[in-house]
Amino acid sequence: MQELNQQEIAQVSGGYYGGGSIFDTLGNVVELYGQTLYNVGEALTTAVVGTGNTLLGLLTGHSVA
């Protein structure tokens, strides 16, 4: 899986809104929330894959890289 960089995340989520209206603020809050969820998902995915590969290696007696 290819990780998104910060610019790609901003493009997907709509970027930063600087107009000063309540809707611009709401858009920025939603963007921050989405970025946070993305980061949590990345951490969870990395942890699950690492743990799974370690367990698989222990069960089979092979090193899984």
What's the pTM?
0.60
Residue 51's domain comprises 6-60
Residue of 14, 3, 9 lying closest to 35 (CA atoms):
9
Structural domains counted in the chain:
1
Assign residue 62 a region: left if phi > 0, alpha if psi is -120 to 50, beta otherwise? beta
Confidence (pLDDT) at 30: 87
* 1 occurs within a structural domain: no
Burial 31-60 (b: 16+ CB within 10 A, else e): beeebeeeeeeeeeeeeeeeeeeeeeeeee
Q: Specify whether the CB–CB gap between 15 and 31 falls below 8 A.
A: yes
* 65 occurs within a structural domain: no
The per-residue pLDDT for range 7-64, each reduced to its tens digit, is 677 666 666 777 889 998 898 888 889 889 999 999 999 999 999 999 999 999 887 6
